Amino acid sequence: MLDRCFGARRIRQIQRTFRHGKITILCLFLTVLVLRGYLGAGKFGTPEQDFKEIKDHLHFRKRAEPHRVLEEAQTTTTETTENNNNNNNYGTFDPTKIAVDEEGDDEKPDPNKPYSLGPKISDWDEQRTKWLADNPNFPNFIAPNKPRVLLVTGSSPKPCENPIGDHYLLKSIKNKIDYCRLHAIEIFYNMALLDAEMAGFWAKLPLIRKLLLSHPEIEFLWWMDSDAMFTDMAFEVPWERYKDHNFVMHGWKEMIYDEKNWIGLNTGSFLLRNCQWSLDMLDAWSPMGPKGKIRDDAGKILTRELKGRPVFEADDQSAMVYLLITQRDKWGDKVYLENAYYLHGYWGILVDKYEEMIENYHPGLGDHRWPLVTHFVGCKPCGKFGDYSVERCLKQMDRAFNFGDNQILQIYGFTHKSLASRRVKRIRNDTSNPLEVKDELGLLHPSFKAVKVPASS
């Protein structure tokens, strides 16, 4: 009896212990859960954080999806069409296979040496004056009051990540070609990264310096971003206004010097004179540029000092604002902050008004009534993600392009069917006396393109 009792008792004890254990564990689990929910458990995080992580993971997939789908969409459409030789099909080809990097890696710069754009030159004005005197065939003024200008723009040598990006770069450069042909301006389209230290928005600095020094015949260098388009083909920049200045940017004095606003000026479209002052300015501008720690730390300083600037690495525009604020005495008197016309025009406030402009005004004004430049800041059509909706950006870029293109096409008697349409229609019939036709805007043989008539004839 006792044995059986003992055995049975033992069993029951075990069972009891087991049940106790179960309950204890259950309660412990509940407690941990509750505590985690309210206090968090360090690196294990709270359920909310867990959920955020899960959401981000899916969200990340969501953001990467469209790009991947864009690529897939192209390949699937071509796969369905019959092709006996897959090698000839552009749809299935991976463009990243083209580029081959040979001849070793970039030379590593000496971390102890402070960054410099190049050897210091102190007598550039004299060097240049002498060269111009020795080379009368390459004057720096092609007509009275008309300096020789080089428009500089550029993009990456690799295909855009966004499949539609290259098409908009192409339209943008055609737009610039048209304006520059009418205004006798030369173009340099850069696709080379001259200095790996100054990559990204800073890449223009070494390029500008190199071009100024290699082309002494250039009087003004006009930098223009690839996402900026000319929308007033008839407007000629008022060069005489800047005869005492060396650096012209679109901006407002109050916003820079009083408000210290980081968008008080815009470095997407500016004019820089080819002179010693500009070389010194570039040297003063560049220290915040070298990528890595210098640029990140500089970014923090700029965010702290400038109004409204978000937190990110130093960019050339904020650095210029900071330079002007802190060294106004040194640079301020030769910097012209232009706002009488849109040397840079923020697209957001301009693109919806094009039809109104066509109705009420005419090209040649350059200002809010008919902007010289419409600059698509933030759209980033070449990259994967911009700051604005893709549809709005691309559609508006088409409209701006057509708005400018209409002024070119009307020279030849055509116009786009609408600002959204790629198709053109005739607005003037052909005649057998084509030379008597005058285009409305006088852009066919504009005065700013006229060659100096030799004195003896």
Partner 1 sequence: MGQESHTAQKRSGGAGGSLPTTTTRLSGRSSSGFSRGRQIQKTFNNLKITILCGFVTILVLRGTIGVGNLAGIADVEAENQNLIEETNRILAEIRSDSDPIDPSEPAEPEFNPNVTYTLGPKISDWDLQRKIWLQRNPQFPNYVNGKARILLVTGSPPNPCDNSIGDHYLLKSIKNKIDYCRIHGIEIIYNLAHLDKELAGYWAKLPLIRRLMLSHPEVEWIWWMDSDALFTDMVFQLPLSKYDQYNMVVHGYPDLMFEQKSWIALNTGSFLFRNCQWSLDLLDAWAPMGPKGPVRDEAGKILTANLKGRPAFEADDQSALIYLLISQKHWMEKVFLENSYYLHGYWAGLVDRYEEMMEKYHPGLGDERWPFVTHFVGCKPCGSYGDYPVERCLKSMERAFNFADNQVLKLYGFRHRGLLSPKIKRIRNETATPLEIVDQFDIRRHPVHQGSDPNSI
162 burial (CB, 10 Å; 0-12 / 13-18 / 19+) is buried
Judged by beta carbon, residue 338 or residue 405, the one nearer partner 1 is 405
Q: Which amino acid is at 374?
A: T
CB of 371 to partner 1, least distance (A): 21
Do residues 117 and 283 lie in contact, with contact meaning Cβ atoms separated by under 8 Å? Answer: yes
Judged by beta carbon, residue 66 or residue 348, the one nearer partner 1 is 66
CB of 231 to partner 1, least distance (A): 16
Query: What does the H/E/C string look like for 241-293?
Result: HHCCCCEEEEECHHHHHHCCECCCEEEEEEEEECCHHHHHHHHHHHHHCCCCH
CB of 3 to partner 1, least distance (A): 13
Do residues 351 and 398 lie in contact, with contact meaning Cβ atoms separated by under 8 Å? Answer: no
CB of 296 to partner 1, least distance (A): 24
Judged by beta carbon, residue 163 or residue 332, the one nearer partner 1 is 163
d(CA 350, CA 370): 9
Helix (H, G, I), strand (E, B) or coil at 440: coil
Structure tokens at 127: 């060097």
Judged by beta carbon, residue 166 or residue 280, the one nearer partner 1 is 166
Q: Which amino acid is at 302?
A: L
Nearest alpha-carbon partner for 337 in 401, 245, 422: 245
Judged by beta carbon, residue 112 or residue 433, the one nearer partner 1 is 433
Q: How many CB atoms lie within 10 A of CB 355?
A: 12
Nearest alpha-carbon partner for 232 in 387, 394, 446: 446
CB of 397 to partner 1, least distance (A): 10
CB of 434 to partner 1, least distance (A): 4
CB of 177 to partner 1, least distance (A): 6
Judged by beta carbon, residue 37 or residue 200, the one nearer partner 1 is 37
Judged by beta carbon, residue 127 or residue 303, the one nearer partner 1 is 127
Do residues 185 and 255 lie in contact, with contact meaning Cβ atoms separated by under 8 Å? Answer: no
